[in-house]
């Protein structure tokens, strides 16, 4: 497999990257090459090969490693293969929720939204669980997945469909009182629509104005509006499967799942009225961004809302966002497990305490988010106290990750291996 990898050690950084990656070293150059070799071996593991992998590590709030492996485009003989690089953009799945929340927090600081107000007033139509019709639903409920909404009825509709005309699925046994957690993508489609309603701006362009542009990022929720240079760096997400079947097939070809070459805008945008239905932009999972630029967001958060000497968010807002607002009672009385555990929740983020059964990797007491869609797996995990953090973007696998679960966490085994290697080599600086 052709590896396009670049570590921060033993290389001359591009001038444009010097302000961000004038980094403290991992250690001797051999430490980076050892980590490169470990990650390359994971990507090329014949038992579980990956299409591509991009990684960034921060120590004490500063980037100390970045690497990229595999291919962002697999031509299968029809197109040229193109290597993944640290600035390859991926559709990062549910890490998008954390980034969407940052945009919402800017509107909160501007006084445009109230986390505890009835969202019906923002949406312009009545949003109520018919089984608990007297209980209002708030932005806090949507952010914490405690709104009683469910994804069973769908969470994405064309731009020509108004959300007020959609009949969503609801819980019958738990109302929107903020106590019962059940993961729901639809909640963030509603959050994006509310953001449009209170600003009059289309969600993708609003997020660019509020967050991505001030951070200097080439990223976005609508890849058709990315600059051409960024579109050219976009990764296609793959799975190995039969061409005529959705089933995983490890000896089949790499089949494009999302963001194949030839990006098109979401259908039906002509004449779209902001505030009608933001789900085509997928506030829940549709952000395209590189591991490197996710590292920029992570650094801003670790710096208490400051980027490049300018304040983007108040420190108190970030503390509020990452405070623990919900925790599982351990017996199933206040949450529906997704997998084997339920992580404590902040506003638009999850907590991964450094203890068995809860951690992502031992030694990292993290907050952040995970992503899983179309074969991609993604990790955004930061220890705000130490300033240590890891970003992992895997652009698809040859096998269903559920067939090779992790040994010490709720992650897939390959994700555990990546995190353990990066944490040991880049953050702890341990030799091979």
- 4 pLDDT more than 80: no
Give the whole-angstrom CA distance, residue 40 versus residue 49: 10
Which percentage of the chain shows pLDDT scores above 70? Answer: 91
Across the beta sheet with 349-352, the strand order is 82-83, 62-73, 52-59, 388-394, 376-383, 366-373, 349-352, 345-346
Give the whole-angstrom CA distance, residue 285 versus residue 100: 9
Q: Across the strands, what pairs with 289?
A: 90
CA angle 47, 241, 379 (to 5 degrees): 65
Name the band, by pLDDT with cuts 50, 70 and 90, for residue 278: very high
Burial class (CB in 10 A: 0-12, 13-18, 19+), 112: middle
Give the whole-angstrom CA distance, residue 287 versus residue 99: 8
Name the band, by pLDDT with cuts 50, 70 and 90, for residue 332: confident
Q: Determine contact, residues 38/7, Cβ cutoff 8 Å.
A: no
- 192 pLDDT more than 90: yes
Give the whole-angstrom CA distance, residue 377 versus residue 180: 26
Find, among 228, 394, 380, 202, the residue nearest to 283 by Cα.
202
Sequence length of the chain is 432
pLDDT at 243: 85
Q: Determine contact, residues 38/65, Cβ cutoff 8 Å.
A: no
Phi and psi angles of residue 357, each rounded to the nearest 5 degrees, phi first: 90, -15
Check: pTM over 0.85? Answer yes or no. Answer: yes
- 287 pLDDT more than 80: yes
Task: For 411-432, write each residue's pLDDT tens digit.
Answer: 999 999 999 999 999 999 998 7
Q: If you compute the radius of gyration of the chain from its CA atoms, what whole number of angstroms results?
A: 21
- 25 pLDDT more than 80: no
pLDDT at 13: 27
Residue 53 in 3-state DSSP? strand
pLDDT at 333: 85
Q: Determine contact, residues 287/96, Cβ cutoff 8 Å.
A: yes
pLDDT at 341: 63
Least confident span in 42-46, 183-187, 193-197, 333-337:
333-337
Q: Determine contact, residues 380/95, Cβ cutoff 8 Å.
A: yes
Name the band, by pLDDT with cuts 50, 70 and 90, for residue 23: very low
Average pLDDT rounded to a whole number, residues 386-397: 98
- Convert 262-301 to b/e letters by CB count within 10 Å (16 or more is b): eeeebeebeebebbbbbbbbbbbbbbbbbbbbbbbbbbbb
- 107 pLDDT more than 80: yes
Task: For 230-262, write each residue's pLDDT tens digit.
Answer: 999 999 999 999 988 899 999 999 999 999 998
Q: Is 12 or 390 the better-scoring residue by pLDDT?
A: 390
Name the band, by pLDDT with cuts 50, 70 and 90, for residue 77: confident
pLDDT at 96: 98
pLDDT at 342: 82
Burial class (CB in 10 A: 0-12, 13-18, 19+), 201: middle
Name the band, by pLDDT with cuts 50, 70 and 90, for residue 314: very high
Average pLDDT rounded to a whole number, residues 271-285: 97
Task: For 339-379, write each residue's pLDDT tens digit.
Answer: 556 899 999 999 999 999 899 999 999 999 999 999 999 99
Q: What is the DSSP letter of 165?
A: G
Task: For 26-66, write each residue's pLDDT tens digit.
Answer: 344 566 789 999 999 999 999 999 999 999 999 999 999 99
Name the band, by pLDDT with cuts 50, 70 and 90, for residue 301: very high
pLDDT at 161: 97
Average pLDDT rounded to a whole number, residues 283-292: 98
Q: Determine contact, residues 100/188, Cβ cutoff 8 Å.
A: yes
The overall average pLDDT reported for the chain is 91
pLDDT at 30: 62
pLDDT at 336: 80
pLDDT at 10: 28
Longest pairwise C-alpha distance within the chain: 63
Q: Across the strands, what pairs with 53?
A: 69, 394
Q: Across the strands, what pairs with 226?
A: none
- 7 pLDDT more than 50: no
Give the number of other CB atoms < 10 A from CB of residue 223.
22
Domains and CATH numbers, the chain: 31-93+225-277+286-427 (3.40.710.10)
Q: 399 to each of 250, 325, 413, how far by Cα in Å?
A: 5, 36, 12
pLDDT at 157: 97
Give the whole-angstrom CA distance, residue 188 versus residue 284: 5
């Amino acid at each position: 497999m052709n590896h396009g990898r670049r570590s921060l050690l033993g290389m001359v950084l591009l001038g444009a990257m010097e302000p961000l990656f004038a980094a403290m070293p991992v250690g001797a150059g051999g430490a980076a090459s050892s980590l490169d070799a470990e990650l390359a071996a994971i990507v090329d593991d014949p038992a579980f090969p990956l299409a591509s992998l991009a990684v960034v590590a921060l120590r004490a709030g500063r980037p100390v490693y970045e690497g990229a492996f595999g291919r962002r485009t697999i031509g299968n003989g029809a197109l040229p293969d193109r290597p993944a690089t640290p600035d390859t953009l991926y559709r990062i799945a549910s890490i998008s929720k954390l980034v969407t929340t940052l945009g919402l927090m800017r509107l909160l600081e501007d006084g445009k939204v109230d986390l505890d107000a009835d969202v019906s007033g923002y949406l312009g139509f009545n949003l109520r669980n018919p089984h608990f019709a007297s209980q209002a639903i708030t932005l806090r409920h949507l952010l914490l997945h405690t709104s009683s909404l469910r994804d069973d009825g769908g969470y994405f509709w064309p731009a020509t469909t108004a959300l007020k005309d959609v009949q969503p699925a609801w819980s019958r046994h738990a109302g929107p009182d903020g106590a019962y957690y059940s993961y729901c993508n639809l909640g963030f489609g509603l959050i994006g629509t509310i953001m449009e309603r209170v600003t009059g701006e289309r969600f993708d362009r609003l997020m660019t104005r509020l967050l991505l542009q001030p951070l200097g990022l080439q990223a976005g929720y609508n890849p058709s509006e990315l600059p051409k240079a960024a579109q050219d760096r976009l990764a296609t997400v793959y799975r190995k499967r039969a061409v005529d079947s959705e089933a995983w097939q490890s000896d089949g070809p790499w089949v494009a799942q999302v963001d194949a070459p030839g990006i098109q805008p979401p259908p039906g945008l002509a004449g779209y009225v902001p505030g009608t239905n933001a789900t085509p932009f997928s506030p829940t999972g549709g952000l395209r961004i590189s591991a490197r630029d996710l590292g920029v967001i992570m650094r801003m958060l670790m710096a208490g809302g400051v980027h490049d000497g300018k304040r983007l968010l108040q420190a108190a807002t970030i503390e509020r966002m990452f405070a623990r607002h919900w925790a599982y009672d351990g017996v199933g009385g206040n949450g529906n497990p997704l997998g084997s555990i339920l992580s404590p929740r902040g506003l638009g983020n999850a907590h991964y305490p450094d203890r068995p059964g809860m951690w992502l990797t031992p030694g990292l007491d993290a907050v952040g988010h995970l992503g899983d869609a179309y074969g991609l797996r993604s990790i955004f995990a930061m220890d705000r106290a130490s300033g240590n953090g890891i970003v992992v973007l895997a652009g698809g696998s040859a096998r269903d990750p559920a067939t090779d679960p992790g040994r010490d966490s709720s992650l897939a085994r390959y994700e555990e291996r990546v995190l353990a290697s990066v944490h040991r080599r880049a953050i702890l600086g341990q030799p091979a």
